[in-house]
């Protein structure tokens, strides 16, 4: 029987690629999204992957949404915490709302999602959790104190939960992408983007499919000895020990 995977932010950008790659690998995939109904409908029509709308920053909505997925597709074996937003500003200009929105969506969401499935995974003695962090959670980034803090927190969350789940057959890993060619990055002015690419040794932006392939690898049943790891995929822009 195919295992069930849930991907947050799963209808656009990196999440779109992850959802499709998991489906192609034989999973029953549920793609979560927050608010873009048009994009979600288009994604569903093109891929055949069912979509589920809820706000990952809300614990109650995550619990309800995941219960719906489980009722319709089966017990959830794989969770990919991919949803994320940016609200950039230097700290002396950053509002409490900008800080809170990013922390809630990019970090607290991982607690909301994992807390809602972890007991079932422990009972079944199986689970795969893959968290999508960022190069900026590893090295920091000017104007992104909120985003960098959230993504760094996601790495710490991963390492702690990996220790809790290891004896129960649950692996927890984190991928830290660099600059990937998505809508979010495409919105960066070209002169700025050119400067960013100049700092990437491979000389280009990453592809969403390259992140997706790594997720499929970590989500596999035979990846059970890999847990608590941070996989950096950034073209050599930042090499972490």
Residues annotated as part of the active site:
147
CA atoms within 13 A on the CB side of 111: 14
- In this structure, how many other beta carbons lie within 10 angstroms of the beta carbon of residue 188? 13
> 7-36 as b/e, with b when 16 or more CB fall inside 10 Å?
bbbbbbbbbbbbbbbbbebebbbbbbbbee
C-beta of residue 52 within 8 angstroms of C-beta of residue 31: yes
d(CA 165, CA 152): 20
d(CA 58, CA 50): 21
Q: Beta partners for 132?
A: 175
């Amino acid at each position: 029987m195919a295992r069930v995977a849930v991907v947050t932010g799963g209808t656009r950008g990196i999440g779109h690629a992850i959802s499709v790659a998991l489906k192609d690998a034989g999973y029953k995939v549920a793609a979560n999204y927050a608010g873009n109904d048009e994009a979600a409908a288009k994604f569903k029509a093109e891929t055949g992957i069912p979509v589920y709308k809820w706000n990952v920053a809300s614990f109650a909505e995550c619990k309800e949404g995941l219960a719906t997925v489980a009722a319709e597709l089966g017990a959830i074996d794989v969770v990919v915490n991919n949803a994320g937003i940016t609200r950039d500003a230097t700290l002396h200009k950053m509002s409490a709302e900008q800080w809170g929105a990013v922390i809630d969506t990019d970090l607290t969401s991982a607690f909301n999602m994992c807390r809602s499935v972890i007991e079932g995974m422990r009972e079944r003695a199986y689970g795969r959790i893959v968290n999508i962090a960022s190069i900026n959670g590893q090295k920091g980034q000017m104007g992104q104190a909120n985003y960098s803090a959230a993504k760094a927190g996601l790495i710490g969350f991963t390492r702690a939960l990996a220790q809790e789940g290891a004896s129960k057959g649950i692996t927890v890993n984190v991928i830290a992408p660099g600059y990937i060619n998505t809508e979010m990055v495409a919105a960066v002015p070209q002169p700025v983007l050119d400067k960013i690419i100049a700092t990437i040794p491979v000389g280009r932006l990453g592809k969403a499919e390259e992140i997706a392939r790594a997720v499929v690898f970590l989500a596999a049943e035979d990846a059970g000895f890999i847990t608590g790891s941070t996989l950096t995929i950034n073209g050599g822009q930042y090499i972490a020990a």
